[in-house]
Amino acid sequence: MKKLFFGVLVVSMLAISLVGCAPTATAAPTTAPVVATTAVPTAGGTNPAPTAAATNPASTTAATVDLSKTEPIKIGYIGDLSGSTAVWGQAGLNGALLTADEINANGGILGRQVEIVSADGRGQAADSVNALNKLIDEDQVIAVIGTNFSSCNIAMAPIADAKHIPLLATAASNPLVTVDKNGNLLPYSFRIGFIDPFQGQVLANFAYNQLKFTTAAIITNVADDYSVGLSNYFEKQFVADGGKVLIKVEGQSGDNDYRAQLDKIAALNPQVLMIPWTYKDVALIANQAREAGITAVLIGGDGWDSTDLLTMAGPALEGGFYTSQASYANDVTKPFAAAYTARFNITPETEALFTHDGLYWIKDALTRAGAVDSVKLRDALENTTTFTGLMGTMSIDPKTHDPSKPAVINTIKGGKFVYYGSYK
Amino acid sequence: MSGYYQGLLILVCINLIAVLGVSILTGFTRLFSFGNAGFMSIGAYTAAILSSNFNVPFLPSILAGAVLATFIAFLLGKLTLNLRGDYFLIATLGFGESVRVLFNYIVPVTGGAQGFSAIPVIPGNELLTVALITIVCIAIARSIIYSKYGRNIMAIREDEMAAQAVGINVASYKNFAFTTSGFFAGLSGGLWAHYFTFISPLMFNLDKSAEMTIVVVIGGLGSLTGTIIASILVTVLPEILRAASEYRMLAYGIAVVLIINLWPSGLMGYKEFSFSWFRTLWVSTKTLIKKIGAK
Amino acid sequence: MFLQQLVNGISVGGIYAMISIGYALIYSLLGFSNWAHGDVAMIGAYIGFLFFATAKLPFPIALIIAIVGAGLLSLLNERIAYRRIRKNNSPTMFLMIAAMGVSTILQNFITVTVGPKFLTYPTVVSVSTIKIGKLHIGVLDAVSLLVVLISIILLILLLNKTRFGLALKACASNIAVASILGINVDAYVMWVFFLAGSYAGLAGVLLGMKYTVYPQLGNVSLKAFIASVFGGLGSVPGAIIGGLFIGIMEGMITAFVNPGLRDIFTFSFLIIVLLIRPSGLFGKNVSQKA
């Protein structure tokens, strides 16, 4: 009896896996095998138009989405919609919805409406991968905007490449998002924000040249690749400029108590303390630093960029500086911010500006490409020489897909974020 | 079948393999561990390093990962298995966390918090390969349960002192169960690495270990079928219920408390899925209908 | 430097101790470690926040409501999640699993209702520093240390100098015999959970004030558990000493060894304690699984 059952189990699993597999072509060695989405008919309804035989994945046969002219162009958004950083993910989604309506009110893209389809990546690589697969295979999006986590985008990149759907990271700032660790460009991965090496450099130059500081200390979150990367890049540039890093200490998000490390810093009395963490910990560290008697100016990266930071840190951060994407301190963003607050009843986060610019960038690229085709879209994105959005003007380096755009430095004055300057 | 469903099935299989090990450990030996994600992590990084940096082919590298995880499980078991139930639990939890912390720290080897990327993909048809490996693992798990090993660990589960009294070497069978769970977790980790092509220490954290135990509890302690069903459910449910994802974890917690209170044997109890189960069900339904008809 | 780290460590350790006490109390009666205890502290923090920041009640009142609320939650917890298992004489592992389930429920309940954002307590005590020679301690820390001290003294008085405490110790010593002797064991179990919960609630509010309030605040209970193992499961003085010790040890390792590997040290320390002296400093002789 048991053997019979077992046999049935084996046979049925084999059957499932065989039925489930459309005849695939084994890919050229670099990426995952291309799955032809045509062989198995989807439930009734519209079949995607048969692509040229999916046997030549390295070439430019696209997953051309066969829609009649009046069907909307679907663009996906992946972000953390339900986890601990949902405040950013939700903001991104809201920004996308707001922008899509604006674009549609002005004639859409190539005469078609834009529709946003969202999927919850929960800030985790595994969930983001599932989300991307769903958006591409089930919802047939032509491009995806998201996420702000480098780890998620690194995991999603092979899928974007294999299925020929451009993926536009928002704030993800690790260089590995667009160029893999062997130096190969990931052709379908793009990003809208600057990368950490750039950010670290700007901060270091600013601290040394503008603020005229020569001694610094750094506290790093070793559990966060963003923090580790930013600390390294800052240190390299600061030392190259001629400054001295007196001490580097480490901690982990979740420890909550950094006094032990901060006391070490206090003893050396640096002029500036670099805190490349996310805003919650920045607030804790700042408060504890002041308690420890540290009088240094506090600086950090775009992890500071949240309206919650000031409520949590109080006066400890007064006089501090941080790099950010061009953000709400700029007057040009005021109409958008007003419209956002009117519709969603909450002040917007920078992530909403990312999705706004991302959508307009896609519009710009599709218009240049002249057709609603994901491969042509990719080429147009790669060849962007000037695109101006609410976050400034940028051009894309075709070799790395990294945008060159200025970083903004904001300061905290009177308990508020105040725009300080734009730096390249 | 679209790439999305294929990907989902692959994920189901990968999670299932790891949970099979936890099932043997927890359901059949009643040892609770919160550290099996640590074994997954060891398996994942070993396989990834071997196949990325040393060009070792797919199958040998995931097997190597599994073997290393097994070995470490063996050592850890020797060290901690004579501790009481909840101490053992904390020890395994500590182990899982320590693996995560360590892998974060040894940056030149693992890439640290940045993660390890550009891992070669699963060769051939991904779904077929993973499904076959999963079937083999289910077969191994079943044969363990129905063997002398299985009977002995179940004896230990029911009454440890009695088992010792009849001459079962409790320590070595417990370690057998623990080591086996390490093997399955390590294998699963290797597959995970090659499917996602990117791993970071955070992926294998306490939540993952806890999730595996939750699955076994929900499926039923002492039932492989229950474990399989629960694992499929738990992997697939977030996708089906995308709208309600915040409530998902809440629902799991409630399910665990309810089940452990009311039906500690979970969905399937100590029973396995078999045709005699259907027959029993059919017979009792017939009897019930007859009774109602007679009234 | 060393002395300063000592001060830091004591301040953190004091809070660990408050939570460890809860573990010790519950363990002494029921023989299992209540995994959800840290989350009771977390709920205490949220209750305090609700009444202090949102309802704008005076701080002492909000504090008391938080303490009582957490105690009630802990009690409810026992009644709903644990009592049945206890009565069924199921293995104690089941209790731990139920506790794990409760912990998940509490954390996610907060996440779906209040939301995952970090909440900051409005300032109760000014964020300034007291300086004693070369040492410094935040005013908030000093006050919370004082509060911890007072509550611990109260607890010890309660346990040792009252009839209630005597009955509690009887239950702890042998629950079956105590019930034969006419002590209403169920009632005492409820009292213990209430007591443990209220201490956790107090700790939660203090933690919330120091570090902001968020759903995972209860994760600190892992360290508190290690502390109570070290001090001897079931022993209240052991829990206190354990809490202080772990707080200090972690501070020292962070300052002088390596913050990144700190957790490995703490866990290895735990394993060593379990291997060498599983009953901890003051615990009863713990027999292996019988």
In the stretch 134-163 of chain B, residues with CB closer than 8 A to chain A read 134-135, 138-139, 142, 146
Contact A132, A163 (CB under 8 A): no
Of B131, B142, B196, the CB nearest to A13: B131
Record the tokens describing residue A92, joined without a space. Answer: 């991104």
Interchain contact A318–C (C-beta under 8 A): no
Alpha-carbon gap: A386 to the closest alpha carbon of chain B (Å): 31
A151–B198 CB contact, under 8 Å: yes
Alpha-carbon gap: B135 to the closest alpha carbon of chain C (Å): 29
pLDDT lower than 50: segments of chain B: 275
CB contacts < 8 A (A, B): 136
The sheet with strand A403-404 has its strands ordered as A387-389, A392-396, A403-404
The residues, ordered by sequence, that sit 6+ positions from C63 with a Cβ below 8 Å of its Cβ are: C48, C52, C202, C205
Interchain contact C212–A (C-beta under 8 A): yes
Helix, strand, or coil here: C179? helix
Of A9, A155, A180, the CB nearest to B196: A155
Record the tokens describing residue C277, joined without a space. Answer: 């002296």
C259–A254 CB contact, under 8 Å: no
Distance of alpha carbon A286 from alpha carbon A258, whole angstroms: 10
Interface test with B, best of A3, A18, A26, A35 (most B CBs within 10 A): A35
* Structure confidence by residue, pLDDT tens digits, C225-239: 888 888 887 788 888
Among residues A294, A301, A337, the alpha carbon closest in space to that of A225 is found at: A301
Interface ipTM: 0.81
Residue C74: the pLDDT is 92
Write out the DSSP string of B255-278. HHHHHHHH-TTTTTTT----HHHH
Interface test with B, best of A78, A128, A133, A141 (most B CBs within 10 A): A133
C98–B101 CB contact, under 8 Å: no
Of B30, B83, B161, the CB nearest to C274: B83
B112–A122 CB contact, under 8 Å: no
Alpha-carbon gap: A252 to the closest alpha carbon of chain C (Å): 7
Distance of alpha carbon C240 from alpha carbon C159, whole angstroms: 14
Contact B163, B116 (CB under 8 A): no
Contact list in A for residue B119 (CB cut-off 8 A) is none
Interchain contact B84–C (C-beta under 8 A): yes
Report which residue type is found at B98. S
Write out the DSSP string of C104-168. HHHHHHHHHHT-SS-B-PPPSS-S-EEEETTEEEEHHHHHHHHHHHHHHHHHHHHHHHSHHHHHH
Of B3, B127, B132, the CB nearest to A137: B3
* CA distance readout (Å), A11 to A6, A18, B10, B141, B230: 9, 10, 18, 18, 21
CB contacts < 8 A (A, C): 77
Residue A48: the pLDDT is 36
Contact A6, B142 (CB under 8 A): yes
Residue B267: the pLDDT is 55
Among residues A337, A331, A333, A309, the alpha carbon closest in space to that of A321 is found at: A309
Interface test with C, best of B30, B159, B257 (most C CBs within 10 A): B257
Report which residue type is found at B49. I
Residue B291: the pLDDT is 77
pLDDT lower than 70: segments of chain C: 125-127, 284-290
Q: Which residues pair with A321 in a beta bridge?
A: A299, A411
Task: Please report how the helices C59-77 and C185-211 are oriented relative to each other, as an axis angle in degrees rounded to 10.
Answer: 130
- 10-residue mean pLDDT profile of chain A (424 residues): values are 48 46 34 32 34 36 48 92 80 93 91 91 88 92 92 92 94 89 91 90 92 93 88 94 92 84 90 92 90 90 85 86 82 90 88 93 92 92 90 89 88 86 82
0.90 exceeded by the pTM? no
Of B85, B95, B98, the CB nearest to C93: B85
R_g over Cα of chain A: 24
C97–B93 CB contact, under 8 Å: no
The residues, ordered by sequence, that sit 6+ positions from A51 with a Cβ below 8 Å of its Cβ are: A36, A37, A38, A61, A62, A63, A64
In the stretch 72-101 of chain B, residues with CB closer than 8 A to chain A read none
The sheet with strand A73-79 has its strands ordered as A114-120, A73-79, A143-145, A167-169, A189-191
Alpha-carbon gap: A263 to the closest alpha carbon of chain B (Å): 23
- A27, closest residue in chain B (CA to CA): B124
Record the tokens describing residue C112, joined without a space. Answer: 């779906």
Alpha-carbon gap: B209 to the closest alpha carbon of chain C (Å): 12
Across chain C, what does the average pLDDT equal?
Answer: 84
Of C97, C286, C288, the CB nearest to B260: C97
Numbers of helices and strands, H then E, in chain C: 12, 2
Alpha-carbon gap: A172 to the closest alpha carbon of chain C (Å): 21
Alpha-carbon gap: A353 to the closest alpha carbon of chain C (Å): 21
In the stretch 166-225 of chain C, residues with CB closer than 8 A to chain B read 222, 225
Write out the DSSP string of A301-368. -GGG--THHHHHHGGGGTT-EEEESS-TTSGGGHHHHHHHHHHHSSPPPHHHHHHHHHHHHHHHHHHH
Distance of alpha carbon A186 from alpha carbon A378, whole angstroms: 11
What letter does residue C53 receive in the DSSP assignment? I
Contact list in C for residue A260 (CB cut-off 8 A) is 5, 8, 251-252, 254-255, 259
Interchain contact B206–A (C-beta under 8 A): no
Half-sphere CA count of A183, side-chain side, radius 13 A = 0
What letter does residue C30 receive in the DSSP assignment? H
